[in-house]
Structure 1
Amino acid sequence: MVNLIDRGGAVTTTTSISAAERRWRDRVVSQAAHSSAMEGLASSPEYRADSAAYVDGTIDIDELGRRTLGRYGIV
């Protein structure tokens, strides 16, 4: 289930996810972090917070992508 919350012009997406989906998201995010670390890269605190929100189901993958791209002015 997806809920959209209007916070004064900014819409926040919240998603109810199953325990299995949460475990899968956690594994995927952990694998991506490990892959980056193996390449000598480090994620920013902002990205880590956003990816934790994704794992918890607070945001969906599209919002994670928008936030990441927006942070670097790529959007």
Structure 2
Amino acid sequence: MIDADEKAMRAKVVADAAHSTAMSSLRTSTEYLADAAACVDGLIDVDALGRRTRRRYGLPEEDA
């Protein structure tokens, strides 16, 4: 699991991303929000969040 500081940082990053999306008149999917919550809680890491998001939209995996 992650510590409280890491969780707070992840929560801020997710909130900032959601705000940016809203300011661009876009909508965040419920699937992404669930994955982002799992990332904030330390259940998945940011790389897994990216892979899930790319897979959901049919985008190729990033090169390592």
* TM-score relative to the length of structure 2: 0.91
Q: Aligned AA for 1:33? A: A
Deviation at 1:39, TM superposition (A): 0.4
Runs of 4+ off more than 4 Å = none
More helix by share: 2
Q: Which has the larger radius of gyration?
A: 1
Alignment RMSD: 0.5
Would you say 1:36 and 2:28 are equivalent positions?
no
Q: Percent identity?
A: 57
Q: Residues 1-75 of structure 1: matches in 2 within 5 Å?
A: 16-75=1-60
Pairs aligned (count): 60
Deviation digits for residues 28-74 of structure 1 (CA, Å, limit 9, x no counterpart): 10001001100001110100000000000000000000000000110
Structure 1, unmatched stretches of 5+, are 1-15
Whole-Å Cα distance in 1 between the matches of residues 26 and 2 of structure 2?
30
